[in-house]
Amino acid sequence: MHAHWTQAGHRIRFDWGPAGADAVGPGAAVVVVVDVLSFTTTLSVAVERGIAVMPYRWRDRTAARVARDHDAVLAVGRREAVRPGQVSLSPESVLRSGGIRRLVLPSPNGATVSARLAEAGATVVGVALRNADAAAASVLRRLGPGDAVAVVAAGERWPGGSLRPAVEDLWGAGAFIDALVRRGAGGLSAEAGTALAAYRSVADGLASALRDCASGRELHADGFPGDVTVAAQAGATGAVPLLTDGWFVADS
């Protein structure tokens, strides 16, 4: 990997997807994962309700076994959550749930990036628009002099499997970076500065922008407009999911 791709020398770095995480994550004291629609939004709802969340790459037979082994609930597909109390990647389903202590939450994007980073030994924090401000305060407390933070927008996937940069994740990353900057952090890479500028361009009309972006329109068309509404609740929670021993729990 080319050394310049790591954005070394900058305190605040930004890139996309699993490959981007591999580039900017090593050497960073904290790596922030952003998947606004919907992994990290659902994660923020779960953690604020006291639910520990295991990020899992795929919802397959291994996921079911892991959930059983850990006495956890396995999230089902959005359209499969038809019974009362069933939980899916939909943040609204978690808001309606009760009695869950542990949740295995598969996602090909945010969960995959989070698990990949954890396996590499990174300190991972989950960030959505709902907790970007609180997460920035938490991360800054963890950074020592000279420490860097890497921000990874998970993105989505095209049908062929390649990365589709999702603008809502760019905005979520920018919201987090904006909160860092407002607290006096500097040393942004050009990539991080671009994410910041993108967020500031829609900050005054964030809910409308989320509804109108490709992922937001897709969720509306699929019958999940509430998930977009929940995702747009900027600053709604102080819960900061920190990946600890394989589970996201609230950072204390």
Question: Can you tell me whether residue 124 is helix, strand or coil?
Answer: strand
Say which CATH number the domain at 111 has: 3.90.1560.10
Asked if 48 and 237 touch (Cβ cutoff 8 Å), the reply is yes
| % of the chain residues with pLDDT over 90 | 92
Residue 3 has pLDDT above 90, yes or no: no
State how many domains the chain has: 1
In this prediction, residues 100-108 reach a mean pLDDT of 96
* CB within 8 Å of 99: residues ≥ 6 apart: 85
pLDDT at 58: 81
Each residue's pLDDT tens digit, 126-183: 999 999 999 999 999 999 999 999 999 999 999 999 999 999 999 999 999 999 999 9
Confidence of residue 242 (pLDDT cuts 50, 70, 90): very high
Q: Sign of the CA dihedral 110, 149, 29, 44?
A: negative
Tell me how far apart the alpha carbons of residues 176 and 187 are, in angstroms, rounded to a whole number: 14
pTM: 0.97
Tell me how far apart the alpha carbons of residues 66 and 181 are, in angstroms, rounded to a whole number: 40
In this prediction, residues 85-114 reach a mean pLDDT of 94
Closest CA relative to residue 28, chosen from 193, 147, 153, 121: 147
pLDDT at 150: 98
Tell me how far apart the alpha carbons of residues 158 and 137 are, in angstroms, rounded to a whole number: 34
Asked if 104 and 66 touch (Cβ cutoff 8 Å), the reply is yes
Residue 186 has pLDDT above 80, yes or no: yes
In this prediction, residues 31-57 reach a mean pLDDT of 97
Confidence of residue 2 (pLDDT cuts 50, 70, 90): confident
Mean pLDDT of the chain: 96
| % of the chain residues with pLDDT over 70 | 99
Domain region containing 34: 3-250
